[in-house]
Amino acid sequence: MVSRGKGAGGGPIYQLKVTLEDFRPTIWRQIQVPGIVDLWMLHEVLQVTMGWANYHLWQFTIDGGEYGEPSPADWYPVEDAGEVRLSQVARGEGVGFSYTYDFGDNWEHEILVEKVFQADPEVRYPVCIAGERACPPEDCGGVWGYADLIEIIQDPEHEEHQEMAEWVGDDFNPEAFDLEGVNETLEYFRPPATGRRRRRRRR
């Protein structure tokens, strides 16, 4: 659980570099989270920092283990992400693992533990410290569909330009990243030590 006040109770903080795979120019985020967060909470922090809407299934793959939201309908059962802490499965600097969101569009994220350090008493975690470029829109067809979408909306002469521009919205800018807005939303994940946020079940 992430606590208010002095960082995360003096425990170790993990600095993670999160990169959306197979897309150029690179879409990435750099976040700092307490090692005591469970993987379910990390999933929700990733949804906010990347810019996803939490509409789809998701899964972590770490050292051969798979973690997500267990379901009786699963062909291959996963371990409950809410029962495993980040520090239990990513034990130190240099560890890499993956996070998959939306098994249809198959957004693969590479996550690297850049460093592990003691919490700064003046910082409230989790926090996003850097990032570049907008998150792709939901349901746009994966990295290849997103590349096509950008090409279309940037070409007023394209036959699908108007339709795609209306679908994605006039304010969409693939180069934009709102660091301040992300950190304002992350305030939700900095509850009192006695509180516990309810999981947001998959839709």
Domains held by the chain: number: 2
User: Encoding tokens for residue 30?
Assistant: 């750099």
Which residue is it, tokens 């992350």?
186
pLDDT digit string, tens, across residues 97-110: 999 999 999 999 99
Same domain, 198 and 127: yes
Range of the domain at 15: 1-133+177-203
Question: pTM for the full model?
Answer: 0.87
Q: What is the pLDDT of residues 109-142, one digit of tens each?
A: 999 999 999 999 999 999 999 999 999 999 999 9
User: What CATH number is associated with residue 7?
Assistant: 3.10.290.30
Burial class, 110, CB count within 10 angstroms (exposed 0-12 / middle 13-18 / buried 19+): middle
111 and 188 co-located in one domain: yes
Does residue 72 have a cis bond before it (omega within 30 degrees)?
Answer: no
Mark whether 197 and 149 lie in a shared domain: no
pLDDT in tens, 59-75: 999 999 999 998 877 66
Do 93 and 152 reside in the same domain of the chain? no
d(CA 185, CA 182): 5
Closest among 94, 98, 84, 96 to 36, alpha carbons compared: 84
The one-letter code for the residue type at 20 is: L
User: pLDDT for 135-165, tens place per residue?
Assistant: 999 999 999 999 999 999 999 989 999 999 9
